[in-house]
Amino acid sequence: MDMFSHAFDPFAERVLPPHLGREVRCGFKALARFCPLGKEDSLEFAGGGEHIVFVARGATKLVAHASEARDQVVAFHFAGELYTVPEPDNYSYSVCALRDCELLAFASSEFLRLAAGETEIVRQLLDSTRLSLQRCREKAIALGRKTAGERIAVFLLGMADRIGVEQDGRISLELPMSRRDISESLGLTIETVSRQLSRLKDDAVIETVGRAGIVLRDRTDLKRRAGFLRGAA
Amino acid sequence: MDMFSHAFDPFAERVLPPHLGREVRCGFKALARFCPLGKEDSLEFAGGGEHIVFVARGATKLVAHASEARDQVVAFHFAGELYTVPEPDNYSYSVCALRDCELLAFASSEFLRLAAGETEIVRQLLDSTRLSLQRCREKAIALGRKTAGERIAVFLLGMADRIGVEQDGRISLELPMSRRDISESLGLTIETVSRQLSRLKDDAVIETVGRAGIVLRDRTDLKRRAGFLRGAA
DNA sequence: GCGCCGCATTGATCTGGATCAAGGAGTCCG
DNA sequence: CGGACTCCTTGATCCAGATCAATGCGGCGC
């Protein structure tokens, strides 16, 4: 089986309903642009227009270019996730591979035209969009009202939920993004990210394993440091 | 005609397709909770679960309670807009009237069940959600990477697009929200908001009319001050 | 139209995180 | 296995915006 089909299958599995007619299915297959990206490679969508991206394999960041040398990471996405890349407006956006990736990219208008009759696909897209909105709102709350320490705690808890693996009672994660990516996601500098992680290590809340590995030693304490009003325990 | 119908009609007009069957239409009418709110009144959704809100008349803020005395305004919404209020998770959310309002509130799960077969309604909801996501991403960029002056400029330009009226060649707006609301939306303090507005007034970029009135005298200059990379002119 | 109240403005000072500046340590490649 | 390069950490200083503290003034009630 070729690489494209290998990437398309998980998309179909996750987004297209099983009973979907052969023509529509082939329509999506024809519309999908297969994008293998090496680590650090970017997808630019210079052609304008909104796009829909599916991560078949790997991990990506969605970056907004606010101005010269001021980028904001809008979201991280992992294998199996579907999301929208905005049409360039006040900012330009690009998708960048955190590690080797296989993506499927669709022009949003075409995707929606194909999906128009298929409620389940529209519903799937709605659910993905709602999840993105949910995460974006939480990010806005963190950026607007949280201290550096709280943002790091929120970030680690979120990553633990998404890519953490339980290992002898502890949650362990392998961060695919650099300190720079984290700082650009949290509205901080790399120095501040580093200092906050060091503090968590000094306070025995986390352990670090090499550059990317993190083990959460005390999740309760981390939640407390996240400064949530609810579920503070 | 009663107040409820008066509020339901604009909802039906905007969200429900014209050919929609009588039963489904009545289903929505039965599901809608009519909420007249006085200025400063809040809708709390203590019952948990996600909700969908339509603003029939008035203007609202969606507020997240980050922690004791630290609220973040997630979004402002005006008449005719449809949006989702998240289920309480790490934060609790409430909808607050900026002035006298008439809202329709729906339990999200029920709304989606009713809409399940109706692609156009799901599509309408998708479009609303995409717009919310778009705005939320721009907010995240502003909160993560922009200075106080830039945030105020972005805010004024955004409000001008949404509620501004052209008046002898100038754009004039009547802000329904207080300085506190603005500061809680932009991740600043009321003092900083006030100082930045004073500076814009001193620099003859805007005029103020009473507490709420703003006239944009030099929109180009304001765009420059917004620090956009694209369309900087 | 006048006086009161609460929001808004303005000023003085403080501070969390940015910026500037060296080192240190993973990791990759030969 | 070693060398070097890049990313990360740590330390010193600075500054935008927060905080603290008085007034100012628009709008509403009487």
Asked if pLDDT for residue A138 goes beyond 50, the answer is: yes
With CA of B190 and C1' of each nucleotide, the nearest comes out as: C8
**Are A90 and B231 an interchain contact pair (Cβ–Cβ within 8 Å)?**
yes
Q: How far does the CA of B192 sit from the C1' of D18, in Å? A: 9
Closest listed residue to residue B221, CA positions, set B204, B207, B209, B208: B204
pLDDT per position as a tens digit, B91-123: 999 999 999 999 999 999 999 999 998 999 999
- Minimal Cα–Cα distance from A20 to chain B, Å? 15
Tokens, residue A211? 């550059």
Q: Which comes out higher in pLDDT, residue B88 or A232?
A: B88
| pLDDT of A229 | 74
pLDDT per position as a tens digit, A74-107: 999 999 999 999 999 899 999 999 999 999 999 9
Mean pLDDT computed over every residue of chain B: 94
Asked whether strand C has any atom less than 7 Å from the CB of B193, the reply is yes
Q: Structural domain boundaries of chain A?
A: 3-140, 147-225
| pLDDT of A232 | 44
Asked if pLDDT for residue B230 goes beyond 90, the answer is: no
pLDDT level of residue A69 (50, 70, 90 thresholds): confident
- Going through B91-204 in order, the beta strands assigned E by DSSP cover 92-97, 101-107, 165-167, 170-174
Mean pLDDT of A115-144: 96
Residue in chain B closest to A86 (alpha carbons) equals B134
Give percent above pLDDT 90 in chain B.
88
Q: Which residues of B touch A117 (CB under 8 A)?
A: 119
Asked whether strand C has any atom less than 7 Å from the CB of A79, the reply is no
Asked whether strand D has any atom less than 7 Å from the CB of A148, the reply is no
Contact B79, B11 (CB under 8 A): no
Q: What is the pTM of this model?
A: 0.95
Mean pLDDT computed over every residue of chain A: 94
Asked whether strand C has any atom less than 7 Å from the CB of A188, the reply is yes
pLDDT level of residue A41 (50, 70, 90 thresholds): very high
Mean pLDDT of B17-37: 94
Contact A72, A94 (CB under 8 A): no
Closest listed residue to residue A206, CA positions, set A195, A221, A224: A221
Task: Fill in the amino acid letter for B5.
Answer: S
Asked whether strand D has any atom less than 7 Å from the CB of B40, the reply is no
Strand C proximal residues, B:81-110, Cβ < 7 Å: none
| pLDDT of A3 | 84
A85, A89, A143, A155: which to substitute to probe chain B, counting the most B Cβ within 10 Å? A143
**Are B144 and A186 an interchain contact pair (Cβ–Cβ within 8 Å)?**
yes
Asked whether strand D has any atom less than 7 Å from the CB of B109, the reply is no
| pLDDT of A220 | 95
Q: Which residues of A touch B227 (CB under 8 A)?
A: 66-67
Fold of domain B3-140: Jelly Rolls (2.60.120)
- Minimal Cα–Cα distance from A94 to chain B, Å? 14
Q: Which residues of A touch B143 (CB under 8 A)?
A: 140, 143-144, 187
The beta-carbon neighbor of B133 closest among A132, A144, A146 is A132
Asked whether strand C has any atom less than 7 Å from the CB of B179, the reply is yes
CA gyration radius, chain B: 19
Q: How far does the CA of A211 sit from the C1' of D3, in Å? A: 20
| pLDDT of B68 | 75
Q: How far apart are CA B12 and CA A110, in angstroms?
A: 27
| pLDDT of B1 | 67
Asked if pLDDT for residue A184 goes beyond 70, the answer is: yes
| pLDDT of A168 | 84
pLDDT level of residue A222 (50, 70, 90 thresholds): very high
Q: How far apart are CA A114 and CA A108, in angstroms?
A: 10
- Minimal Cα–Cα distance from A32 to chain B, Å? 21
- Going through chain A in order, the beta strands assigned E by DSSP cover 33-37, 42-43, 51-57, 59-67, 70-78, 82-85, 92-97, 101-107, 165-167, 170-174, 206-209, 213-216
Q: What is the 8-class DSSP label of residue A88? A: P
| pLDDT of A230 | 63
**Are B65 and A133 an interchain contact pair (Cβ–Cβ within 8 Å)?**
no
Mean pLDDT of B185-199: 98
| CA atoms lying within 13 Å on the CB side of residue B11 | 27
Asked if pLDDT for residue B232 goes beyond 60, the answer is: no
Asked if pLDDT for residue A188 goes beyond 90, the answer is: yes
Asked if pLDDT for residue A1 goes beyond 80, the answer is: no
Q: Tell me which residue has tokens 């705690």.
A: A153
- Minimal Cα–Cα distance from B202 to chain A, Å? 26
Span A147-225 CATH architecture? Orthogonal Bundle (1.10)
**Are A90 and B116 an interchain contact pair (Cβ–Cβ within 8 Å)?**
no
pLDDT per position as a tens digit, A144-173: 999 999 999 999 999 999 999 998 889 999
pLDDT level of residue A47 (50, 70, 90 thresholds): confident
